[in-house]
Amino acid sequence: MRMLINVPETVVADALRGMAAAHPELMVDVENRVIVRRDAPVADKVALVSGGGSGHEPLHGGFVGPGMLSAACPGEVFTSPVPDQMVRAAAAVDSGKGVLFVVKNYTGDVLNFDMAAELAEDEGIQVAKVLVDDDVAVTDSLFTAGRRGTGATLFVEKLAGAAADEGAPLERVEAIARRVNENSRSFGVALSAVTTPAKGSPTFELPPGELELGIGIHGEPGRERRPMMTSGEIADFAVDAVVEDLRPRNPVLLLVNGMGATPLLELYGFHAEVQRALTERNVAVARVLVGNYVTSLDMAGASVTLCQIDEELLRLWDAPVRTPALRWGV
């Protein structure tokens, strides 16, 4: 197993220790697995808390900071965080204006965040929740009932986080998060399988010369397996899947996301093909992100996420953000 780790049992703790050393603007509780912006709680501001299994970095810890999340809860690799983490995070960031939980639609995350919301409310913390379920590839999967939550999580956290920074009340921040999710769709492609530290070998079989269309961020099966396609062919397939489901009438935010092992040289080339495919389908692109944002450890591949926007959402997208992984306007 060729991984830059000590032992599989400490991989998450080791990463958190390294994150703490690299980002003094964050408070990283390695023992309790909670990442909090150092100035929390911010007075008169709705707080945003998210989390999920480790292995998708920079999601979610890399999005903690002004303009996005107030706190994040990393679980073990591809494993949901536990309710105690979420309650601890909510208590650390609540200013009395309430907390929004951003939850990707995976069964463990949903159950644990639901339980955490009940426990937090017992402690006097007002909690709202938004479920991210943007993946158009499959309806149900090994990890979900309904659509999976993938790339749109970044859009939800950024746009709802900007609204919270403007002083919007919890009900408004929740409504914006829901609107962003409802107007977002994603589709992912795997060129190689993912290897977890605990297993030490690929989690599924993908023969040489083949790719999986519609893969999930944990290596879940997609729509179909095909012989290797060109970048342009993959872009057409992914864009068709997203546009046919979303049917955007307004300009869109575009995320061309790497799954962890695909270099930027390839991602930018793929982005060129995605832009071509969108232009041919009369979809206007307002803003773009290209890079590794919602990953799957060492999986090679990419995903395409579109979010249909209006003037308000575009303003919130352009608002300042200062996190380890996303930073502009500051």
Helices and strands, counts by H and E, the chain? 8, 14
Determine contact, residues 299/193, Cβ cutoff 8 Å: yes
Determine contact, residues 134/154, Cβ cutoff 8 Å: no
pLDDT for position 110: 96
| Partner residues linked to 306 by β-bridges | 185, 254
Q: Which two tokens stand for residue 112?
A: 């644990």
Residue 121, Cβ density class (10 Å: 0-12 exposed, 13-18 middle, ≥19 buried): middle
Torsion of CA 4, 269, 299, 55, to 10 degrees: 70
Could you write out the DSSP letters of every residue in 96-114?
SS-EEEEEES-HHHHHHHH
Torsion of CA 217, 276, 156, 193, to 10 degrees: 10
Note the Cα 306 to chain centre separation in Å. 13
Q: CB-based contacts of 302: which residues, under 8 Å, 6+ apart?
A: 188, 189, 234, 256, 257, 258, 259, 262, 266, 267, 270
- What CA–CA distances, in Å, run from 241 to 66, 106, 213, 295? 34, 21, 10, 20
The residue whose two tokens read 């409504």 is: 175
Determine contact, residues 309/45, Cβ cutoff 8 Å: no
Q: Given 23, 56, 60, 271, which residue is catalytic?
A: 56
Is 56 known to be catalytic?
yes
Q: Which two tokens stand for residue 202?
A: 């690929």
pLDDT for position 141: 67
pLDDT for position 222: 83
Q: Given 23, 60, 218, 271, which residue is catalytic?
A: 218
End-to-end CA distance of the chain: 41
pLDDT for position 142: 64
Tens digit of pLDDT per residue, the chain (330 long)?
A: 789 999 999 999 999 999 999 999 999 999 999 999 999 999 999 999 999 999 999 999 999 999 999 999 999 999 999 999 999 999 999 999 999 999 999 999 999 999 999 999 999 999 999 999 999 998 776 666 789 999 999 999 999 999 999 999 999 999 999 999 999 999 999 999 999 999 888 888 889 899 999 999 988 878 899 999 999 999 999 999 999 999 999 999 999 999 999 999 999 999 999 999 999 999 999 999 999 999 999 999 999 999 999 999 999 999 999 999 999 997
- Order of all β-strands in the sheet with 301-308: 224-227, 210-213, 184-190, 301-308, 252-258, 285-291
Is 271 known to be catalytic?
no
Determine contact, residues 116/129, Cβ cutoff 8 Å: no
Torsion of CA 128, 134, 140, 143, to 10 degrees: -60
Q: pTM, whole model, 2 decimals? A: 0.97
